[in-house]
Chains A and B, each alone.
Chain A
């Protein structure tokens, strides 16, 4: 039975059953979420993004969701790549739709509830995985993490043991299927990569239908010493869809985490990405591409914390803004007192294609160590008239010339994806989206 309640009511009376957390724990986190309150215009970090009316809105949790049809699944699946697939509908993994091939010993892919069951049956790696839950999401400070922890029913989970390389990329298909009224979907992902392990994770998020929804996603990644993580996230929300997503990475000694976020639609999308480089030699990369049109409002908010010496980070964001879209970028690089020999780069470029669009860039450097190299650069501009002229003078029609230049602008981001099997499908996706834009 679906029920619609406001967020405050849900937090006051969270479902009285075990979900992501135990009944008791989810009540406690719910109380905390109420105390934290939703961020408003007076919060500097939320200055440019409004989730107006969210407090008053009656939302359903969409627990009894219908199964997605084949067309919806295909729409989000990259073509021509062999993948293991986990399907999550309205925040709940659906085991019947998962397709997992043969895996090396010890690798765990599935729902968190299944892991919990395995742990009860004495599976030690499942028990270890559970210990990592909710350590990174900052649910004590970040209201949306607390809401997710309190109201999420289950999570997708990945465990890669020490020294194991995941044979195929893992695709986590996360669909939002609103039914009668506005829906609150709370997908959650927990991934732990053991020492010297390697994995590619593709999160494909999509919303369907014309009903309003709020998707409050939280993903946590523990990348242990010398492990390598390649994380690609594609977000295609419907025009009525709002999304607040938090991705949290903890990178240990000599490990490498790379994340790429492609935002291709939605009404209001807020992506928060936090990467902690905790031990010496860790390196992190955060890339993002936004292709925006209509009324889409995209707010990318990154925070890279250099907490140990000899760490490297790179951030690269590119946004194309058409029609009345808005693109906000806030990127913070924090270098702690003893994080000497830090090498941090941040770049943000926006291409504004319409006089009604708006681009805001807020790079932030906070440096407390002296032997560091930190740079950031940001540009806001339009299509270069000289380049357009060059192409036109070689007989390329204006429309095509524009598309070529815009595609070239986006391609830089593709070049940063190391998982080579993902590049072509992503390129096709971008080309298709740009063709829709035109």
Chain B
């Protein structure tokens, strides 16, 4: 065996880096879902009364809904009564400062490389970390408060800013929107809330780190970002989970509201545990993300999806205001037995609205990777413009790449274009690199990074570096 082959072989054996479990004392509800559990979550979180009604309404809607089955995914039956819908790290007398936070927890974040507290100040990133269902620490709060920016956990927002939350929660993703959104509305336990006042440019990147730790639980977080007129915010989201043989459910909802002339940039690096080489374990990632754009507003979704056993996710933009802009940049990489059905919806309602979709799908191993998208231009959306490009890259001959775009145009003044290609890493390209002394694994990494560069260029700097590394790690063992 040559040196390279051996190295590749070793790399291929490399396991999920974030697969540790933290021995943190957690307060977990018994498994099962009923109106009592929903009420108990609401009660435990000390929520205003309207929230309980809202949750119960969502629960009843969910009970009557059917599991969506249109995606190109093979989803083993999920027993929704076997999941615990609430798990919080048990508090040892409410931490007042960073020093009081459970040291195990801090160590966990250390392992994850999340800058908390002082380190955050140095890194210049404000972090809200959501551990299982609870938000454990929000950094940089005072500095943000000086600008009038609210960045806190959802439970805190419900206590401190109930009217603001009430006005916007569910305004973009209504409780009956879909099966998983209804489930999330009924049981969500925490998440992040961001409010940027009129005309404010958020002085730093905001970031949330999600982690599922406890076994037998699901994570249902809810994120709401409201950017008032003319404001600007860039928000990053990252996620990891321990390595377990069981499948865990993650059903999140993200709502963005961009007021007139506001700009929200939402970036995700999703690295939930993808299951082992034989497809055992892994996170089911069923997420609803949608943004509403008022006049001249702009929402950009950028995502790098490398984790999860199954991904079902369609970050969307409702371009309601005239001249609003929606963007979607995505890299979805699947390896081994992973399945991803992901894409976007761009709903053009206002005049002269524009949208861009760049989607890069990479499939390796035995995985299935689908792009599914909708571009809808309503009759009133005069002069609307869309450009979509979805490219697929196949590595190996046992994986699948699929594309399911839909274009629905209802007026004459708009222009909608779609392009798609499917290709593989050619032997010529690899040979060229090898000839110049580049190892095969590195060559593939380079080619993949080149394939994704339009999307990676959209990520904030720190994330772009992480994403590039992640792509390399996720592809290990798929060639050679």
Chain A residues within 8 Å of B, Cβ to Cβ? 44, 337, 340, 350, 352-382
A359, B397: Cβ atoms under 8 Å? no
Minimal Cβ-Cβ distance residue in B for A353: B412
User: Quick check: B418 and A350 within 8 Å, CB to CB?
Assistant: no
Give every chain A residue within 8 A of B52 (Cβ-Cβ): none
Show 23 residue pairs from A and B whose CB-CB distance is below 8 angstroms, ordered by the A residue: A337-B397, A350-B409, A357-B410, A358-B410, A360-B407, A361-B405, A361-B407, A362-B404, A362-B406, A363-B420, A365-B420, A367-B392, A370-B395, A370-B399, A371-B424, A372-B422, A372-B424, A373-B422, A374-B422, A378-B417, A381-B416, A382-B413, A382-B415
Residues facing A in B356-401 (CB within 8 A) are 379, 392, 394-401
B15 interface contact, C-beta 8 A: no
* B415: nearest chain-A partner, CB-CB: A381
Known: A353-B412, A366-B402, A382-B413. A359 touches B420 (CB 8 A): no
Residues of chain A lying within 8 A (CB to CB) of residue B413:
355, 382
CB–CB A375/B421 < 8 A = yes
Which residues does chain B contribute within 8 Å of A380, judged by CB atoms? 407, 409, 414-416
B402 — nearest CB in chain A belongs to which residue? A366
Within the complex, the shortest CB–CB distance from A377 to chain B, in Å, comes to 5
CA distance A374 to B361 in the complex (A): 14
Give Cα A157–Cα B421 distance, bound, in whole angstroms: 40
Q: How many angstroms between the C-alpha atoms of A369 and B407 in the bound complex?
A: 26
Contact B397 A340 (CB under 8 A): yes
In the assembled complex, B171 has its CB within 8 A of some CB on chain A: no
Q: Give Cα distance in the complex from A377 to B424, angstroms.
A: 19
Q: Which residue of B lies closest to A360 (CB)?
A: B408
Residues of A within 8 A of B429 (CB): none
Q: Which residues of B contact A356 (CB under 8 A)?
A: 379
- Taking CB atoms, residues of chain B closer than 8 Å to A373 are 422-423
- Please tell me if the beta carbons of B379 and A355 are within 8 angstroms of each other in the complex: yes
Query: Bound complex: CA of A203 vs CA of B117, how far in Å?
Result: 75
Which chain B residues have a beta carbon within 8 Å of chain A's beta carbons? 70, 72, 379, 392, 394-424
Main secondary structure, interface of A, reads strand
Q: How far, in Å, is A105 (CB) from chain B's closest CB?
A: 47
Contact B417 A370 (CB under 8 A): no
Chain B residue at minimum C-beta to C-beta distance from A340: B397
Is A375 a contact of B420 with CB atoms below 8 Å?
A: yes
Q: A350-B409, A360-B408, A366-B400 are in contact. List 20 more A-B contacts (CB 8 A).
A: A44-B70, A337-B398, A340-B397, A352-B409, A354-B412, A355-B411, A356-B379, A358-B409, A360-B406, A362-B406, A363-B418, A363-B420, A365-B403, A365-B422, A370-B394, A377-B419, A378-B417, A379-B418, A380-B407, A381-B416
Q: In the assembled complex, which residues on chain B have CB atoms less than 8 Å from the CB atom of A358?
A: 408-410
Cβ B397 vs Cβ A361 within 8 A: no
Closest chain-B Cβ to A375's Cβ sits at a distance in Å of: 5
Specify which chain A residues have a CB less than 8 angstroms from the CB of B414 in the assembled complex. Answer: 380-381
Residue in chain A with minimal CB distance to B389: A377
Min CB gap B66→A, angstroms: 11
Question: Are the CB atoms of A375 and B422 closer together than 8 Å?
Answer: yes
Which of A44, A354, A374, A379 contacts B416, CB < 8 Å? Answer: A379
Residues of A within 8 A of B416 (CB): 378-381
A365 → chain B closest CB, angstroms: 4
Interfacial chain A residues near B379, Cβ < 8 Å: 355-356
CB distance from B418 to the nearest CB of A (A): 5
Q: Nearest Cβ in chain B — how far from A348, in angstroms?
A: 9
The CA of A378 and the CA of B408, in the complex, are separated in Å by: 11
B400–A359 contact, CB under 8 A?
Answer: no
Whether B420 pairs with A376 at a CB distance below 8 angstroms is yes
Whether the pair B400, A368 counts as a contact (CB closer than 8 A) is yes
> Is A367 touching B406 in the complex (CB atoms < 8 A)?
no
Residue of A nearest to B411 (CB): A355
Residue pair A374, B409 in contact (C-beta under 8 Å): no
Q: How far is the CA of A337 from the CA of B405 in the complex (A)?
A: 22
Q: Enumerate chain B residues within 8 angstroms of A360, measured Cβ to Cβ.
A: 406-409
- Give the total number of A-B pairs whose CB atoms are below 8 A apart: 110
User: How near does chain B come to A203, taking the closest CB pair, in angstroms?
Assistant: 29
Q: A332: nearest residue on chain B (CB-CB)?
A: B404
Interfacial chain A residues near B404, Cβ < 8 Å: 362, 364-365
Closest beta carbon of chain B to A408's beta carbon, Å: 18
Q: Which residue of B lies closest to A356 (CB)?
A: B379
The residue of chain B having its C-beta at the shortest distance from the C-beta of A352 within the complex is: B412
Please tell me if the beta carbons of B402 and A367 are within 8 angstroms of each other in the complex. Answer: yes
Question: With A353-B412, A358-B408, A381-B416 in contact, do A370 and B392 touch (Cβ < 8 Å)?
Answer: no
A358 to chain B: closest residue by CB: B410
Name the CB-closest residue of B to A383.
Answer: B412
| Residue pair B401, A367 in contact (C-beta under 8 Å) | yes
**Residues in A whose Cβ lies below 8 Å from that of B399:** 368, 370
- Kindly identify which residue among B72, B397, B418 contacts A371, using a CB–CB cutoff of 8 Å: B397
Contacts of A364 in B (CB 8 A): 402-404
Which residue on A lies nearest to B374, using beta carbons? A362
Q: Is the CB of A369 within 8 A of B397?
A: yes
A379 to B419, CA, bound (A): 9
How far is it, in angstroms, between the C-alpha of A340 and the C-alpha of B421 when the chains are bound? 16
Whole-angstrom CA separation of A365 from B373 in the bound complex: 13
Do A376 and B412 form a contact, CB below 8 Å, given A365-B422, A367-B422?
Answer: no
Most buried by A among B404, B407, B416, B424: B407
Give the distance in Å from the alpha carbon of A362 to the alpha carbon of B413 in the complex: 20
* Closest chain A CB from B132 CB (angstroms): 36
User: What's the Cα separation between A91 and B405 when bound, in Å?
Assistant: 37
**A368 proximity list for chain B (CB < 8 A):** 399-400
List of A residues within 8 angstroms of B411 by Cβ: 352, 355
CA distance A113 to B434 in the complex (A): 67
Whether the Cβ atoms of A382 and B412 lie closer than 8 Å is: yes
How far does the Cβ of B83 sit from chain A's closest Cβ, in whole Å? Answer: 28
- Asked whether, in the complex, the Cβ of A359 is within 8 Å of the Cβ of B409, the reply is yes
Could you tell me the distance between the alpha carbons of A372 and B413 in the complex, rounded to whole angstroms? 36
Q: How far is the CA of A376 from the CA of B406 in the complex (A)?
A: 12
Give Cα A353–Cα B403 distance, bound, in whole angstroms: 28
| Contact present for B400 and A362 (CB under 8 Å) | no
A363 lies within 8 A of B421 (CB): no
| A361 CA to B376 CA, complexed, in Å | 10
Which residues of the partner chain B approach A370 to less than 8 Å between Cβ atoms? 394-397, 399, 424
Contact indicator A377/B420 (Cβ below 8 Å):
yes
B322 to chain A, nearest CB (A): 17
Distance of A18 Cα from B394 Cα, bound (Å): 52
Q: A355-B379, A366-B400 are in contact. Are A361 and B420 (CB under 8 A)?
A: no
- Residues of B contacting A337 in the complex (Cβ-Cβ under 8 angstroms): 397-398
Leading 4 A-B pairs by shortest Cβ distance? A370-B394, A365-B403, A380-B409, A361-B407
The answer, among A340, A362, A366, A367, for a CB contact under 8 Å with B407, is: A362
Q: Which of B403, B409, B424 contacts A376 (CB 8 A)?
A: B403
Interchain nearest-CB distance for A18 vs B (Å): 41
CB distance from A378 to the nearest CB of B (A): 5
B418 & A361 in contact (Cβ 8 Å cutoff): yes
Nearest Cβ in chain B — how far from A97, in angstroms? 44
Q: Within the assembled complex, what's the spacing in Å between the Cα atoms of A18 and B406?
A: 44
Residues of B within 8 A of A355 (CB): 379, 411-413
> Which of chain B's residues have a CB closer than 8 A to the CB of A365?
392, 401-404, 420, 422
- Chain B contacts for A381, CB-based, 8 A: 414-416
- In whole angstroms, how far apart are the Cα atoms of A381 and B410 in the complex? 10
Q: How many Å from the CB of A412 to the closest CB on chain B?
A: 17
